Structure 1
Amino acid sequence: MTRSWTIEDAGRVLRVPTAADDKYSRGVLGMRTGSEAYPGAAVLGVEAAWRTGLGMVRYLGPVRPTALVLARRPETVTAEGRVQAWVVGSGTETASRVRAETDTVRGILADTDPVVVDAGALDLASSASAPRILTPHEREHARLRAALGLGAPRGDRTAAAIETAEATGAVVLVKGAVTVVAAPDGTVILVDAGTPWLATAGTGDVLAGVIGALAAAAAADDRPADPASLAALAASGAWLHGRAGVLASHARGGGPITALDVAEALPLAVAEALAR
């Protein structure tokens, strides 16, 4: 089954806080992202998570990205503790990952909290047991498929995403002008809500933060982390990300945008979806 995702669909996934909420009941997202080589990925993902709306972001990463995250978002917690969902891998590379980090990420992927798996952690995701949303771009998807022995995608992005989801047991989101979200049961969601200006460095890091925030809020609300629910979270994150890109461009006369512009426009995108 294939369907398109709408503003109404995205709005149904979002949760408005009440007077009874605290920071824990609104969701706590753990993030192991960024590296000394790509510290900005950590900043962008953390910024996006906060802007999407949740109770706490707990960032655990290298020294330089940690300093930059705190300079940009001082409310971020940088000590270990309770989390309800994770984002791992953004701004990291498999080749430069040290053994201790590999062991830590494997531990996260072997637990029960939902995990958004991006970039440099995708190689660890195929045999994991945690509820997972994989977020490769086209080249990362091709590398993942090669590692799984599936071969290169042959033009049909939807069929390839379904095959990867079936092979990994995870929800697979393949980024592009039209984002494809595939669940292991063959369900496919297409998200066409963006602008070509989103094809710029760092927007994938923003997307991972958005989806992570939605996953943490859903977990705090005791919503299930089954593939159908995770696919809805992934598609809603892609919709909000795309709409934020459009809003950011409109605010600049329809011109070019940066990843941080997209993150800063997320509250408006969230407000629009909630209003519908």
Structure 2
Amino acid sequence: MSDWRDWTAAETAAWIRVPESGDDKYSRGVLGMLTGSAEYPGAAVLGVEGAARTGLGMIRYLGDERAADFVLHRRPEIVTGAGRVQAWLAGSGMDSSTRSGGLAEQLGAALAEGLPTVLDAGALDLVDRAAGPVVITPHFGELARLLSARGDEVEKSDIAELPAQWARAAADRLGVVVLLKGSTTYVAAPRGEGIRVAAGPAWVATAGAGDVLGGVLGALLASHSERVLAEPSVLAEVAAAAAHLHGRAGELASSGGPIVALDLAEALPAAIRELLAGA
């Protein structure tokens, strides 16, 4: 397929899981997070904020100890003990070149569980090790490095010039769903459909916004884990819904002015309310 279709607000609303009277924190979805580092603890905080405000039941943060202190200071309801999860978010705020043996073992064990997984930043190089449905969330430079490491001669500028083409090529090459971040977000499934998503105002291009997006996507995957495992073909739709929700939160947070990533996360509940009301 060569065409790209534009994603809609109604389609996003359909992927927002509204809790019912019989739900508990486990049935609403549990997200495991291996994000952040001693150097970049803020990435863990922002990802947790994005996930928590998207409407899942629990987050297990199992990353860096220093980052965990920041996470708990901001969000005391986060669980830092291991246990059952329904999806994983890994790599935000990490550097693959400085990954320790212990962290590598943690990441490998998580990826081997076969659960829906978001790979970002410092875990993109592990895409081949994931046993379950995977979405990767690179920006132009990260995708260029990932493809170059696999023998493709591509520069960041090449991807910036033809993002739709490269998102599709990467999905086919890697066999995973690719969410290529940019002023327009392109979501491509391997040998499948391509979805184009308005990424919100240019003010959203700010440090940490991608970490929030990872949290939003991880939350939606945890909330719909059973369906994604049963129908992997819907993975691109979940990714598109996350990108759209993230962009709409950016619009609400900005209202025409500058924002920081935490503003974007805090606007997520209002964006969800609006989407559900419109649906």
Q: TM-score, normalised by structure 1?
A: 0.95
Moved more, 31-40 or 187-196: 187-196
Partner of 1:32: 34
Q: What amino acid does structure 1 have at the position aligned with 2:80?
A: T
Q: Is the 8 A contact 2:108 2:129 kept in 1?
A: no
Moved more, 100-109 or 38-47: 100-109
Q: Is the 8 A contact 1:180 1:188 kept in 2?
A: yes
Q: Report how far residue 216 of structure 1 moved.
A: 0.2
User: Which residue of 143, 160, 166 maps to 2:172?
Assistant: 166
**For residues 152-203 of structure 1, what are the alpha-carbon distances to aligned partners after superposition, in whole Å with 9 as ceiling and x for unaligned?**
1633211211111112211000000000100002311000140100111000
For 1:196 and 1:33, locate their aligned partners in 2 and report how far apart those are by CA, in whole Å: 26
For 1:264 and 1:90, locate their aligned partners in 2 and report how far apart those are by CA, in whole Å: 19
Moved more, 1-10 or 176-185: 1-10
Q: What amino acid does structure 2 have at the position aligned with 1:199?
A: A
Is structure 2 residue 269 aligned with structure 1 residue 263?
no
Partner of 2:105: 103
Q: What amino acid does structure 2 have at the position aligned with 1:200?
A: T
For 2:150 and 2:171, locate their aligned partners in 1 and report how far apart those are by CA, in whole Å: 11
Partner of 2:211: 205
Paired residues for 1:1-276 under 5 Å? 1-152=3-154, 154=158, 155-219=161-225, 222-225=226-229, 226-250=231-255, 254-275=256-277, 276=279
Q: Report how far residue 134 of structure 1 moved.
A: 0.1
State the 4+ residue runs in structure 1 displaced beyond 6 angstroms: none
Q: Report how far residue 63 of structure 1 moved.
A: 1.7
Q: Is the 8 A contact 1:33 1:42 kept in 2?
A: yes
User: Any gaps of 5 or more consecutive residues in structure 2?
Assistant: none
Identity %: 54
Q: Report how far residue 129 of structure 1 moved.
A: 2.5
Moved more, 105-114 or 204-213: 105-114
Q: Is the 8 A contact 1:171 1:227 kept in 2?
A: no
Q: Is the 8 A contact 2:112 2:129 kept in 1?
A: no
Q: TM-score, normalised by structure 2?
A: 0.94
For 1:228 and 1:84, locate their aligned partners in 2 and report how far apart those are by CA, in whole Å: 18
Q: Report how far residue 110 of structure 1 moved.
A: 2.3
Aligned-partner SS, 1:173: strand
For 1:65 and 1:51, locate their aligned partners in 2 and report how far apart those are by CA, in whole Å: 19
Q: Is the 8 A contact 2:114 2:130 kept in 1?
A: no
Q: Is the 8 A contact 2:221 2:228 kept in 1?
A: no
**For residues 24-47 of structure 1, what are the alpha-carbon distances to aligned partners after superposition, in whole Å with 9 as ceiling and x for unaligned?**
000000000000000000000001
For 2:271 and 2:188, locate their aligned partners in 1 and report how far apart those are by CA, in whole Å: 23
Q: Report how far residue 127 of structure 1 moved.
A: 4.4
User: Any gaps of 5 or more consecutive residues in structure 1?
Assistant: none
Q: What amino acid does structure 2 have at the position aligned with 1:207?
A: L
For 1:148 and 1:3, locate their aligned partners in 2 and report how far apart those are by CA, in whole Å: 29
For 1:33 and 1:236, locate their aligned partners in 2 and report how far apart those are by CA, in whole Å: 22
